[in-house]
Amino acid sequence: MGQQNTANIKETEKVIEEVFRARHATKEYKPNVTIPEETLNEILELATTAPSAWNLQHWRFLVIRDQDQKDRIKPIAYGQQQVSDASAVVVILGDLEANLTGREMYDGLLAAGFISQEVHDNLISQIEGSYKSQEFARDEANKNAGLAAMQLMIAAKAKGYDSGPMGGFNPTALVEALNIPARFIPVMLITIGEAAASPRPTTRLPLSKLVINESF
């Protein structure tokens, strides 16, 4: 039984590692591929398992699947063809007022008896105090939504789809085109679909360049 478990864990590790290594930033998609809504929702739901500061879940997903709408966004993404050809373009939004989620969530937990008044008040005071700074709010929106974005791409690969993160777009034009409320900032676009070509090989810096042990 113990051996069986060890074998299963090793197999799971291998599969997870394969998913990580198989993800590449996809720039060419087969057009006219539809991702079933159920699968897309599973991918988005898996993305929401990302951690976030105070569990404020700073991410929102603006999902674009309509061909005309994708074609409208393409020039805003400086003409990058993958926006038109991908099955879906997900605009990852970051919440600049995530403190409001905190209030709602921790009020609920207090009402349900899961946290004490003292814990509730401490958390709310920490959160509201921090969110007085616009710079803090923006950093948190970008940082935490970025974690969900990464999970979304890994989840897509695990479900057999390719993806590509994109920062190459005009944020002002995107906000205007999609009526994005002032509460949210576009953090990045993620295209999802079926790759039409093998990904361009990329390399990574070696750990010897990346890891600093204990201190500089």
Ligand X SMILES: Cc1cc2nc3c(=O)[nH]c(=O)nc-3n(C[C@H](O)[C@H](O)[C@H](O)COP(=O)(O)O)c2cc1C
Which positions lie near ligand X, rule CB under 6 A? 24-25, 27, 80, 164-168, 188, 199, 202
Concatenated DSSP letters of 105-167: HHHHHHHTTSS-HHHHHHHHHHHHHHTT-HHHHHHHHHHHHHHHHHHHHHHHHHTT-EEEEE-
Main-chain dihedrals φ then ψ at residue 96, nearest 5 degrees? -80, -15
Between residues 43 and 154, which has the closer beta carbon with respect to ligand X? 154
Residue 187's SS3 state is strand
Between residues 127 and 175, which has the closer beta carbon with respect to ligand X? 175
Residue from 85, 88, 70 nearest 30 by CA = 85
Between residues 80 and 151, which has the closer beta carbon with respect to ligand X? 80
Q: How far is the CB of 119 from ligand X (least distance, A)?
A: 36
**Residue the block writes with tokens 């720039």:** 27
Between residues 93 and 123, which has the closer beta carbon with respect to ligand X? 93
Which position's Cβ is nearest ligand X? 168
Q: How far is the CB of 103 from ligand X (least distance, A)?
A: 30
Q: How far is the CB of 1 from ligand X (least distance, A)?
A: 40
Q: How far is the CB of 167 from ligand X (least distance, A)?
A: 3
